[in-house]
Amino acid sequence: MRYFEIIESAEQSAAQRAQQKQRNARDRIAHAHEKRSAAATRYQDQLKACDDAIKQAQASLREASVRSYALRDRKGQLLGWIEPQGRLIQGKDRAGTVVGWYDARQNVTRDRHGVLFGTGDLLSALIVCKR
């Protein structure tokens, strides 16, 4: 009889070990799902933050961008116009020839020959002087 009890005890302990392994495996799977879910949430949060930053940068760029505009005298006659050209802003006379440009990075205005005209945006002065 003792022999059957030993065999039965061994089978029970083997079954208990198998159940414990299954529980451990389920716990590891649940933990991996939690980690994956947390990582996905962090990733989504980072994507949203990047999207918000892009939208904010685009909005500030639209606000700060210089659009073309005409310069006119008191009578309304066209003197010239100022328009963005890449990173430079060009000043043109009424005939459409370039009279100079303003470089915002260097904060200088140059005439059509590239000679320094002054510091700051002096394109309107260049256009008026050209007249």
Domain spans of the chain? 1-65, 69-130
pTM over 0.85: no
Residue spans of the chain under pLDDT 50? none
User: Residue 3 has what pLDDT?
Assistant: 67
User: Residue 102 has what pLDDT?
Assistant: 94
User: Residue 120 has what pLDDT?
Assistant: 93
User: Residue 106 has what pLDDT?
Assistant: 94
- In degrees and rounded to multiples of 5, residue 113 shows phi and psi of -90, -5
